[in-house]
Structures are given as structure tokens and as C-alpha cells.
Amino acid sequence: MVVSMNNNKVNLLSAENLLNKWEFHIMAPDMEIAHHEYSYKVRHFDLWAEEIEHQILPEITLDTFGYNKKTPGPVIIMRKGEWLFLTLHNKLSVPTGLQIQGYAKPGAIKHLSDFKFNGPIIDPDDSFTYKLLCDKPGTYLYQSVLDFQVSMGLIGTLLILPDPSDVDINDIPDKDFVFLMQQWEIPDLTLGEIIPGHYKPDKYHRNPNFFTLNGRCYPYTSPIYLCDGDNVRMRFLSKAGEGSWIHLEGHQFRVLSINGFSRNNQYLNFENDTVEFNSGVRTDIAFTANNPGKWFINATAIFHQSNNGVFPGGIMSNILYF
């Protein structure tokens, strides 16, 4: 591998290979990575907005909304300099539309007001192709333009990786995890009850009683597997209306960015083990997996660690070394 003596950047071919490796190592436990068709500098994705049956626990199924039969929707991966062509097919019985939260780049939008809040509304059984030049690397939320549809599950993650020429060899993670947090209110259940069945969540979420990590409540969440020495990146996105904190047991991390803005500053880049999250906030962290054992990653608010008051549950997952 050839590295520049001046700025530690690999040559373009090696950087391209590293980006391929980086993209391959993006992981979204219990979610899916979106499939796409590729032509030169263009990735074309299809999303279907539809009514779904979604399990947050083996005994609890939500009758709600989702993209491509799931909530959250699939993770969309792009690279800086590529065009995103995203066709949204509306299979709902009501109109919908799409926007990207956090992507504010004047002049990057094509075809009228794509991805803006007042963008095109898509009627049932209709479709629309949004087009976006991805010139701002970072972690973003794609979601419905209608807030109540977001609270009912129409949300997903968009990742934009840097241009190969901007890649530093030290920035390539061995594992790059995506975690999206949501909350749900099932008013039919009394506090402390877990009764098997299908439930329609309340769209207002004024009194949420179930909290999910990548669409599932603990202990239904899949473990996070690490190897000793891994360079790990984790991206936390939240659409849970109630603010809380996420704690990473057994490890210390550095905050790389918040809402797409770098925190890689020598005066700010101190180590931590807990990170705040609020609705709409997106935080990227990095750490070295150097403490083999069995650990938890979990919300710190007590009720967020439960399923309607039944412990353990909520926003939590196991970290395992292998």
C-alpha cells in the first residue's frame, strides 16, 4: 500500500479498495443494507412505503408503517461525488413524501424541491424518483415529510462515505455499526404487562412504553460481535422523542461528529463512555475493542431499559468478543 509522505493519504487505487472494505464492513444489526443498481457515479435505490406487521418482541407485533417491509427502513450507503437516485413507491392508503434530515446543501438538489419539506407529495399507488448529488459525507436520516408517519415507522439511515482522495488510512474502521433508536406507545397495555398480540401504536407517543434499537426491544436485539483490536465506529441516530443517554460498558470512545459536524478537535476530543441522544440527533463515535468480555450497550434512563416496565428490555444489546 502506497502512502503519501505529506498527508498519510493512500493513492487513489488503494483508497478505492479501502472504501470497498469500509463499505463491506458497515453493519446494521436487525436492519438491512439497501440493495441498489449501479452505473457510473449513480446508485439507484427503490423504497416501498407500506403498511407492515413489525415484531419488536417475539410476542409483540405492531401494525404500523415501514419501508421495504421493515422499520427502520434499509440503510442506504453512498459515496461522496455519487448521485443518489431514490425511487419512492407509495403503497400506503394515504399520500406520503420523503426528506433527508440534516442534509442542508444549497444547490445540491435537482428536480424542483426534492428532499425538501415542501417537496412532492406522492399519492397512493404512485411513485417519484428523487435525485441528490452526495457532496457532504456523514450520517443522515431519511424519513417521511409527514411527522406522524415518521412516528409510525417511516424512517431510515443514509450514510455518505468520503471521497477516496480524502480517505486517511487511520480512519478506516474494521467494523462500522449503525444504531437507530425509536419509541412506541401501546396504550392497550397496563404498566408491567406483556400480553402477546397485534397492536396499533399511538401516533402521538405522548406516553411511550416500548423503546427499540434497530427496530427491536431487548432481549430480542441481536448481539454486537467484536474482535480484540478492532477499530470500531458506531453511528447513533435517534427518533425517540424522549432524550436519554447511551452507555458503552467496558470501553472508552471518542466522539467523531455530531449531526454531521466534526468533533475531531484536540481540545474537544476527550474520551468518554456515555453519549447523549435526543430526537433527530446523529452522533458518530470511535473506539478500539481492547477489553474482551461480555458487555452491554444500553440507554441509561431506567424506563428505557424496560419493555412497558418489564426488565430487562428496551434500548439495550449485548457486546460479545469472538
One digit per residue, pLDDT tens: the chain, 322 residues? Answer: 334 434 455 466 677 788 899 999 999 999 999 999 999 999 999 999 999 999 999 999 999 999 999 999 999 999 999 999 999 999 999 999 999 988 765 544 444 444 444 457 899 999 999 999 999 999 999 999 998 999 999 999 999 999 888 887 877 999 999 999 999 999 999 999 999 999 999 999 999 999 999 999 999 999 999 999 999 999 999 988 778 899 999 999 999 988 877 776 654 567 899 998 888 889 999 999 999 999 999 999 999 999 999 999 999 999 999 9
What count of other Cβ atoms lies within 10 Å of the Cβ of residue 312? 13
CATH number at 175-321? 2.60.40.420
The C-alpha atoms of residue 30 and residue 221 are separated, in whole angstroms, by: 7
Q: Is residue 152 exposed (0-12), middle (13-18) or buried (19+ Cβ within 10 Å)?
A: buried
Which strand (E) or helix (H) includes residue 12?
helix 12-24
Which strand (E) or helix (H) includes residue 151?
helix 147-151
Residues 6+ apart with CB under 8 A from 88: 47, 49, 96, 97, 98, 122, 127, 128, 129, 130
* Class in CATH terms, 30-166: mainly beta
The C-alpha atoms of residue 59 and residue 285 are separated, in whole angstroms, by: 33
Phi-psi region of 16 (alpha: psi -120 to 50; beta: other; left: phi over 0): alpha
Contact 211, 304 (CB under 8 A): yes
State the pLDDT at residue 36: 97
The DSSP call for residue 10 is: B
State the pLDDT at residue 244: 84
Contact 157, 179 (CB under 8 A): no
The C-alpha atoms of residue 276 and residue 281 are separated, in whole angstroms, by: 9
Do 30-166 and 175-321 agree at the fold level? yes
Contact 148, 107 (CB under 8 A): no
Taking the domains of the chain in order of start, what are their residue ranges? 30-166, 175-321
Q: CA 157, 162, 163 angle in degrees (round to 5)?
A: 135
Residues 6+ apart with CB under 8 A from 258: 281, 282, 283, 284
Q: pTM for this one?
A: 0.92
What count of other Cβ atoms lies within 10 Å of the Cβ of residue 292? 14
State the pLDDT at residue 198: 98
**CA-based end-to-end distance of the chain:** 28
